Amino acid sequence: MKKVSQLIGSFALGAMMALPSFAQPLVQPNSPDYNPKATYDGPYKLNTWSISAHFGPTLFFGDLREYDFWPVTKTNSDSHKESGTFQGGLTLNKQLSYLFGARLDASLGNLRGMKRRNYNRYFEGNYFDVSLSGTVNLKGLLMGPNKMKRWKIDAYAGIGQVFYDATAYDLTGGVKLRETGNMNDWIVPTGLNVNYEVTPRIDIGVDFRLTHTNSDYLDATYGGDYDRTPNSFNIKDQKTSHKGNSELDSYGYGAIQVTYKLGKKPLKVAKVDGKWDYKPDEGGYYHLRYTDPRVLVKPPKILTLEEMDSVAKANRPKDIDPRLLLDTDGDGVSDFFDKEPNSPAGSIVDGAGRVLDFDSYVKNALATGAACSEIFANVTFDTDKNVLKPEFQELLKNVAALMNKNGCRLQLAGHTDRRASDRYNIALSKRRVDAVKNFLVNEAGLQDPSKVIVDYFGSFKPIADSATRPGLQRNRRVELKLLP
């Protein structure tokens, strides 16, 4: 039961350390370097893979260990050297976010140990282990991304397997007592990893690891096995029936580590005027081991009033000619384009504001089949009325005939004077437009009503002074604009 609980606990710890980064939301940026599959938050791609080599001394912790804190360093008549063992290995690192990552380790090494009291034996053995661990960036978690910028301090825990072969000997005679044969068991590696960024590609550091095993046989001895009969049995054959009464074995190492950061066009952040200067747009990629993606996002600049005024002045459009906004004679053509700006009230004009004899124009257009020209005319109404006056009916019949003959289009825009609420005036201007269109279709014989474009503006677009009676009369109108 103890084995199972230890295994489940270690796996849960590694999973909790490695997986929180997947919950981070992704920001959809405009940058072409955006990576939609990234597990980290931020608008820029970052390099995330690296590979490390590590080597250093190992230590064994179990039944055949003389002292708790320091190994025996000499071999004599009643001692056997415990120091002088080494290991080496490779680590593949994947940074999932700035704070969390994963590492796949493989190590090869040897172990030694001895015990005078009770056991009077020593052992020597070799091992190979492989493990998968979750990592947490302690420096970034506790100090943020911009303190000790060149340093990375990770804690990690995981799960794996160890394959080992060990032999135990009598301490005084060197006679072989036990051997394990080739065995394997579960392990839970825990450790602390410290690195310093030397170049955009290379880190150097140290790695301290303690590996807990699910075995009491790593030293070819189980707790309470005091029998010194030579070669009395093989541990591997007796594993199911012999289980020690001591704690499970552990081993560890302290290693020098060199890391090569993978990825294209690596960048190393520089310090300018006392601040870290990030330039992700210069065609390279920072590494997620040392760079929090959030620091690459430039804060928006808040402009002062003087700066805003300067920007506004620089972008202000040129003043428009005031004649574009004036129509002195109310014929529908602005004074800027009007060739005859003093046309009599009610005149029918062309696109240049020149007064036309509409009847002559229509007769000529009907006779010759000439193309339509842009012509303006107004139909006026009595106060609060939308009834078409008789004097405009002949005009509208001619317009319908011309549209039927030459396929012209007609734009109608309804207007009122100001003497009512905006809501009422909008509705009244619409009724006036509808009255003109209905006459064209039902009385004047317009064949294609779809060629009539309608709009209505209430009192929002006057063409005359609303303080006078004649001005009010001119504003109560439907503008006709004949279009090609």
pLDDT digits (tens, 9 = 90+) for 222-270: 888 888 889 887 877 776 655 678 899 999 999 999 999 999 999 998 8
Which of 23-32, 326-335, 423-432 bottoms out in mean pLDDT, i.e. has the lowest? 23-32
Backbone angles phi, psi at 375, to 5 degrees: -130, 140
Tell me the domains of the chain and their CATH numbers.
2-296 (2.40.160.20), 357-483 (3.30.1330.60)
pLDDT band at 463 (very low <50, low <70, confident <90, very high): confident
Res 197 pLDDT > 80: yes
Q: Which residue has the higher pLDDT, 334 or 19?
A: 334
Res 28 pLDDT > 60: no
Give residue-wise pLDDT tens across range 298-337: 777 787 888 888 877 787 777 666 665 666 666 666 666 6
Residue 431, pLDDT score: 95
* Average pLDDT score over residue span 466-479: 87
pLDDT band at 198 (very low <50, low <70, confident <90, very high): very high
pLDDT band at 169 (very low <50, low <70, confident <90, very high): very high
DSSP annotation string for 135-193? EEEHHHHHH-TTSSTTEEEEEEEEEEEEEEEEEEEETTT--EEEE--SEEEEEEEEEEE
Residue 465, pLDDT score: 81
Q: How many CB atoms lie within 10 A of CB 349?
A: 23
pLDDT band at 11 (very low <50, low <70, confident <90, very high): very low
Residue 453, pLDDT score: 92
Cβ contact 137:101 at 8 Å: yes
Residue 203, pLDDT score: 97
Report the C-alpha gap between 217 and 235 in whole angstroms: 7
Residue 324, pLDDT score: 59
Res 430 pLDDT > 60: yes
Q: What's the mean per-residue pLDDT of the chain?
A: 84
Model-wide pTM > 0.85 = no
Q: Which residue has the higher pLDDT, 19 or 476?
A: 476
Single-letter amino acid code for the residue at 118: N
